[in-house]
Amino acid sequence: MSRSPDLATLVDRSPHGIAGAFGRAIRSGELGPGDRLPTVREVAAELGVSPATVSAAWQALRRTGVVVSRGRSGTFVRETPRAWLSPRQRGLVGASPVGLRMDLSRGTPDPELLPSLGPAFGRVSARAGTGVYQDEPVLPQLRSVLEATWPYPSESITVVDGATDGIARVLEQCVHLGDRVALESPGFPPFYDLVESLGAEIVPLEMDDSGIRPSSLRTALGARPAAVVLQPRAQNPTGISMSPGRARELAGVLSRRRKQPMPWVVEDDHSGAISTSPDVSLGSYLPERVVHVRSFSKSHGPDLRIAALGGPAELIDPLVARRMLGPGWTSRMVQTILHDLLTQARSMDEVSEARRQYFGRQRDLTARLADLGMVVSAPDGINLWLPVLDERAALLHLAAEGIRVAGGTPFFPSDTSTPHIRITSGLVDPEHAAEVAAALVAAAAAA
């Protein structure tokens, strides 16, 4: 049953005013944790405003993190605030079901498939020192390795503290209040929160099996976005990798808009080293407008917190200069470890074996699903995006089986999502593939 504050005397019936009334009710305890808000249409009818006005108020409440959308089940007051997480990231974190046996919700790599850090630690200096604070932020030997493996010649390459850090710093350089940013839908939830935190508007980009649809990008360019953010390989959550032909098409769509300011294209290659797809980038066609970010978290270790970022000097150099006024540089000890992992035969073999294992696990799980009548394409990377009849029911069904997965709602920029769940299928070894497949098929049909 839904609960609502008394709205009869509400004067300001704008989205801001409606959001404020419900926010005050939540802070005062009139609406408690877990309470369901009335539907958009119910509030619109009571206040005599359009459903779009109430929907905008609901979006404002979600951005502040006090409520969470559960798809068709409705919008609820958040039960456990997590102030250090952005709103959509909070939507990805749920309580552990009783008897949790498998956590397939996190989108993290299998720890057993990460390369051993012991040999690299043994070759790093025992003292964490640096000669001069103003030294170049990237180790020359690491820069050489990165340049040799970069998907296109880049004017400037630097190192940052993970892919999301790099993308946040790029967008802070080129996106301002009131701008628009084109993002994949479905896509990576923190990107939506990041764009909204900058005061910008999200323009959704539709996907197919080859990546972003050219027609969707063409439509989005009509809104004159300041930036386009895309994931060229192992897209999170779908596991789609962009084909070389699609990259050429998208570059062509952008090139034909030269009479208007061309947006910056920011590429998040977060799973490159464990992807089985060709290295692909729009920078091969538009090097003057593309920033490519390559993370080593999925392949070499999330806690290394390191990624490389390359692109035009006009954007990268100011980014490096601003960073020198904050953290300064990414630890040169960590850079040395990464250089070791990228050049030593043992760690290179370990990453290659991880890539082979993930490839096999994805094929095995999707084959098991097909045996049970659910045909889905084997994704690239470590995630599987599965359509379901009812998202909430699917999550509850899997929780009863002791399996936790991520609900699909946070992976969409708005409430107009279709029911899905994301499974970190890279964690499902062959021994458990049949069991997980059976649970997923049952969950997908749960209502």
pLDDT tens digits, residue range 226-282?
Answer: 999 999 999 999 999 999 999 999 999 999 876 678 999 999 999 999 999 999 999
pLDDT tens digits, residue range 35-53?
Answer: 899 999 999 999 999 999 9
Q: Which long-range contacts (CB under 8 A, 24 or more apart) does 133-137 make?
A: 133/328, 134/324, 135/329, 137/320, 137/323, 137/324, 137/328, 137/329, 137/330
Closest CA to 33 of 81, 69, 73, 98: 81
Give the 3-state secondary structure percentages of the chain, helix then strand then coil, rounded to 5.
Answer: 45, 15, 40
Question: In CATH, what is the architecture of 116-345?
Answer: 3-Layer(aba) Sandwich (3.40)
> CA 354 to CA 252: how far, in whole Å?
35
Tens digit of pLDDT per residue, the chain (447 long)?
Answer: 667 788 878 888 888 889 888 888 887 788 888 889 999 999 999 999 999 999 888 888 887 777 888 877 788 888 765 566 777 776 676 555 567 889 999 999 999 999 999 888 887 876 666 666 677 889 999 999 999 999 999 999 999 999 999 999 999 999 998 899 999 999 999 999 999 988 899 999 999 999 999 999 999 999 999 999 999 999 999 999 999 999 999 999 999 876 678 999 999 999 999 999 999 999 999 999 999 999 999 999 999 999 999 999 999 999 999 998 888 889 989 999 999 999 999 999 999 999 999 999 999 999 999 999 999 999 999 999 999 999 989 999 999 999 999 999 999 998 667 899 999 999 999 999 999 999 999 999 998
**Residue located via tokens 């959001």:** 19
Straight-line distance from the first to the last Cα atom of the chain, in angstroms, rounded to the nearest whole number: 19
- For the chain, what are the domain ranges? 15-77, 87-112+347-445, 116-345
Q: Quick one: CA dihedral 23, 29, 33, 34, positive or negative? A: negative
Strand partners, 309: 158, 293
Peptide bond into 214 cis (omega under 30): no
What CATH number does the domain located at 87-112+347-445 have?
Answer: 3.90.1150.10
Q: Which CATH fold would you assign to the domain 15-77?
A: Arc Repressor Mutant, subunit A (1.10.10)
